[in-house]
Structure 1
Amino acid sequence: MPADPRTDGPSTGAGGPERLQKVLAAAGVASRRASEELMAAGRVAVNGRIVTEPGTRVDPTIDEVAVDGVAVQVDPGRRTVLLHKPTGVVSTMHDERGRPDLSRFTARFEERLFNVGRLDTDTSGLLLLTNDGDLAHVLAHPSFGVTKTYIALVSGAVRPQTLARLRNGIELEDGPIAADRVRVVPNGAASGATLVELTLHSGRNRIVRRMLDAVGHPVRELVRREFGPLKLGDLPVGGTRDLTAAEFGALAALARRDRPGR
């Protein structure tokens, strides 16, 4: 885990300390000269402390570096990839039954990536692949309450009273559940069906399908559009991309917020 920013300064121990401006340049923040200017302006922090001295050394595998308050991914060994998982693909790196799995999407990456959580075989949408165990723990563990937003095509016309039931909570066989937010997407479906946008933080198995089935609107199609601060956007089905600097910063802020003792 990174050093505690309340008590620790930049790392100077074993593990490959490098000049901060070199680390920032390697991370794509700016050139070394421009990085020195950022530091001189008081815009760079290491483990929560502003660093202005250009000779400062940091360990990219341990120290937390931020520019203008936004965390920067400086560890070249860590990678997080956003995948638009297609339907028909199981959320595992190897399927003993020979079904299509996630290995086809990770083969081109040098790092050994694993999936954060899962999507049902018949559900498409945003799935994260990473080798960052700390980040995966924050995003996947139910105690952190990371929200996920889904778009569901359901049978029938969904009435306002049904939306209220989903917000207020319904009882399922494994306990009560309530949507954080739910709404009908206007003009989003043909006659006899409705598009519903539903946000919740539960990670229970097939929870969206079970919730909508319980209120009389079976799901025909389901896609996850958002996972915490991340959005699927226009990434094509089966496509992958690295996180942007802003997305990494948002995830790092989420991890710091939920880290015990912070």
Structure 2
Amino acid sequence: MTDTEGVRLQKALANAGVASRRVAEDLIVQGRVRVNGVVADQLGSRIDPEHDLVDVDGVAIQFDQSKRYVVLNKPTGVVSSMHDDRGRPDLRQFTREWPERLYNVGRLDAETSGLLVLTNDGELAHVLAHPSFGVTKVYVARVRGTVTARTISRLTRGVELEDGPIAADKARLLDRSAATSLVELTLHSGRNRIVRRMLAEVGHPVEELVRRQFGPLHLGTLPAGKARELTTVERGALLTLARREPGEPTPPGDDRETP
């Protein structure tokens, strides 16, 4: 690229909402900005926002303002589809305020609630859903019976299911009574209804299940049935995850599966 082609790096960063142009210049001079993996510490640097990959402090920057990223707290009773041919409640009711045609990244079964990502970025959706990226997710399940430390250990050591062995990345007991227990599981499996099947296998069928985290995204206090756009920080974290090479270690808390 010549000295007159493309967009000045500090202007591109300012246009992307990273910081003011003056602060963006400081970030560049401090060596905190990379273009295609190479530190760009010269203020005269120019980029092609459509093709160059830029990150600041290791966090990916999105220049394409046509891309939309939404997090939804999916209620129970809703299928993870933009159109259900059986007439069941689907995801369209939660996307009406956005003009773009959004699609869900991965699925949650109808009786599972919690965090679901909606986007019109097909490339990112494909990467995040691909099992080779091992995106982890965190679930909280209310199950029947009193879960013991031995049961938690068994979940992390692994259980044998009809389609092969499976182990939780992490498991912990949050609360318990004589009738029910609250268990948190972290998984990166993409197998169908895997959370429910694992807990049933150890003798504790699921009564309620919610996904609290998807990769770097947290459900937080978002009410059931509500959706919001990702913040700049969240969007950067998600895009950073999507730009990893398959097999690279993932940040805690993300996955692709259908519990």
TM-score by length of 1: 0.86
- Runs of at least 4 residues off by over 3 Å: 9-13, 52-57
Aligned partner of 1:217: which letter?
H
- Give the Å deviation of 1:129: 0.7
Matches within 5 A, 1:136-215: 136-186=125-175, 189-215=176-202
Query: % of aligned pairs identical?
Result: 63
Residue of structure 2 aligned with 1:233, choices 215, 220, 233: 220
SS of 2:224's equivalent? coil
Confirm or deny that 1:65 pairs with 2:54.
Answer: yes
Aligned residue in 2 for 1:96:
85
Aligned residue in 2 for 1:135:
124
C-alpha distance in structure 2 between counterparts of 1:10 and 1:67, whole Å: 23
C-alpha distance in structure 2 between counterparts of 1:123 and 1:108, whole Å: 24
Aligned partner of 2:114: which letter?
G
Aligned residue in 2 for 1:124:
113
- Give the Å deviation of 1:10: 9.7
> What are the Cα deviations for residues 154-204 of structure 1, in whole angstroms up to 9, with x where unaligned?
010012222222122112122211111111103xx5541000101111121
C-alpha distance in structure 1 between counterparts of 2:247 and 2:83, whole Å: 34
SS of 1:171's equivalent? strand
Instruction: Provide the aligned C-alpha RMSD in A.
Output: 2.4
- Give the Å deviation of 1:214: 1.4
- Give the Å deviation of 1:224: 0.3
Q: Which runs of 5+ in 1 are unaligned?
A: 1-8
Greater RCO between the two (CA within 8 Å, min separation 6)?
A: 2
> Could you say if the C-alpha distance between residues 48 and 192 of structure 1 is closer, same or farther in structure 2, counting changes exceeding 3 Å?
same
C-alpha distance in structure 2 between counterparts of 1:73 and 1:59, whole Å: 12
> What are the Cα deviations for residues 8-28 of structure 1, in whole angstroms up to 9, with x where unaligned?
x89998xxx433233212211
Confirm or deny that 1:83 pairs with 2:67.
Answer: no
Q: Which runs of 5+ in 2 are unaligned?
A: 249-259
Count of residue correspondences: 248
C-alpha distance in structure 1 between counterparts of 2:242 and 2:3, whole Å: 20
TM-score by length of 2: 0.87
- 8 Å Cα contact 2:156-2:169 kept in structure 1: yes
